[in-house]
Amino acid sequence: MGRLVEHDATGPRKLDESDIDPEKGDIAVCQCGLSAEYPFCDGTHRQTSDEEDDTCYRYAREDGQLQRREVDHVEYTDD
Ligand code: FES
């Protein structure tokens, strides 16, 4: 499986003690790339649970909703 995710951040997000979940005592960092609270996990990774191993997916937020499409390939062009 592969996943294409669009991000618009252009720099790092520095974490400090205020980022620690007071109930769990930890920080869950998103590794799927889909969290609306990036870099923190917000549970959106659950939407990847049915991804097929041999399929590439493109995710994008449209009108506030996370949309998923299967893609055959990625084509890069020079501007
Ligand atoms: S790992 Fe990305 S939302 Fe949880």
- pLDDT (tens digit, 9 = 90+) per residue, 5-44? 887 889 998 999 999 999 999 999 999 999 988 899 999 9
**Mutation to probe ligand 1, out of 21, 27, 31 (largest number of atoms < 8 A from CB):** 31
Whether 39 and 47 have beta carbons less than 8 Å apart is answered as: no
pTM attached to this predicted model: 0.79
DSSP class of 2 = E
**Is it the case that residue 1 has pLDDT exceeding 80?**
no
Counting atoms of ligand 1 from 1, which one is nearest the CA of 37? 3
**Is it the case that residue 56 has pLDDT exceeding 80?**
yes
Q: Which two tokens stand for residue 7?
A: 């991000």
Map tokens 């909703």 to a residue: 65
What is residue 50's predicted lDDT score, i.e. its pLDDT? 95
- Cα separation of the two ends of the chain: 29
Residue nearest to atom 1 of ligand 1 (CA): 30
Which is nearest to 4 in space by CA: 54, 63, 69? 69
**Mutation to probe ligand 1, out of 44, 47, 49 (largest number of atoms < 8 A from CB):** 44
What is residue 29's predicted lDDT score, i.e. its pLDDT? 94
